[in-house]
Amino acid sequence: MADRPTQKPAAPGFVVLHQLGSDTWQLLGEVPRKRGLPARAARTQAILAATDGSAKAGEVYAAVLRSEWRVAMDWSPPDH
């Protein structure tokens, strides 16, 4: 069996985005996931943390799991 480097998995977290226009999003940053909260509450906490509590009703935000964000960016065109 080959030796594998011991690598601690990254702590769960969110990438937080703010919608500025119909097709425009601003990356606000990455926020660690607050443990012990249900998914929706954890996303809300991430948005509040990324905006320092200044998020307002009517504004559109997205809190995407950091692991999903990485998977989504792992794209390459198919070989033909």
pLDDT tens, the chain, 80 aa long: 455 556 666 789 999 999 999 999 999 999 999 999 999 999 999 999 999 999 999 999 999 999 888 888 787 778 76
**Is residue 75 one of the residues assigned to a domain?**
no
**Is residue 26 one of the residues assigned to a domain?**
yes
**Is residue 64 one of the residues assigned to a domain?**
yes
**Is residue 8 one of the residues assigned to a domain?**
no
**Is residue 78 one of the residues assigned to a domain?**
no
Closest to 53 measured CA to CA, from 12, 16, 25, 23: 16
Q: Residue 55 is part of which domain span?
A: 13-70
Question: Is residue 17 within 8 Å of residue 27, measured between CB atoms?
Answer: yes
What per-residue confidence (pLDDT) applies to 79? Answer: 78
Q: Cα separation of 37 and 28, whole Å?
A: 21
Indicate the number of domains in the chain: 1
**Is residue 41 one of the residues assigned to a domain?**
yes
**Is residue 6 one of the residues assigned to a domain?**
no
